[in-house]
Amino acid sequence: MVVPNEEERRTVHDMIYDELCLGEVKQSSRQAYRRIMRRLVERGAEAVILGCTGITMLVSQEDASVPLFDTPRIHAEKAVEMALDARKLAVYEEASRYARGNARLGIQLISANPKRNTKQGGR
């Protein structure tokens, strides 16, 4: 793992709290962040983690020679994915309860997995 040196960390901290949090995006900060990323790559970094929501206001993938990982975006996408999966599971479980409760009527429970499709009741 390659991390910015102490001076670079201070520079990034100042950019975040003295500029980005206030809605300011300075060209000099863009250049400084690009320079820091280049130094990290020169020291062996194979990717750069953008660990603050504001950093994407300064740089994008076009500014780097290695992959950038926008962790706030990654977390948000995963949260949505998990929420949708939880919703799908809740719907499936509700359908399963309904089908079990109405098994004597011969209601068919259909799953996204064809091997799990079963006919409930209906003898």
How far is residue 109's CA from residue 73's CA, in Å, rounded to a whole number? Answer: 37
User: For residue 63, what are its two tokens?
Assistant: 């500014």
87 and 35 belong to one structural domain: no
Give the pairing of strands 48-50 and 68-70: parallel
Q: How far apart are CA 59 and CA 68, in angstroms?
A: 9
Q: Greatest CA separation found in the chain?
A: 76
Q: Are residues 45 and 96 in the same domain?
A: no
Residues 59 and 88 in one domain: no
On whether both 98 and 115 belong to a single domain, the answer is yes
Question: What are 73-105's pLDDT values in tens digits?
Answer: 999 999 888 888 888 877 778 777 766 665 554
Rg (CA), the chain: 25
Range of the domain at 45: 6-66
| Same domain assignment for residues 26 and 48 | yes
**pTM of this prediction?**
0.67
Q: Are residues 49 and 81 in the same domain?
A: no
| Tens-place pLDDT, residues 4-55 | 999 999 999 999 999 999 999 999 999 999 999 999 999 999 999 999 889 9
- CA-closest candidate to residue 52, choices 70, 33, 34, 75: 70
The answer as to whether 1 is a domain residue is: no
**Domain total of the chain:** 2
Are the C-beta atoms of residues 37 and 48 closer than 8 Å to each other?
Answer: yes
Residues 49 and 88 in one domain: no
* CATH code of the domain containing 56: 3.40.50.1860
Indicate whether 95 belongs to any domain.
yes
- Burial label for 115, CB within 10 Å (0-12, 13-18, 19+), is exposed
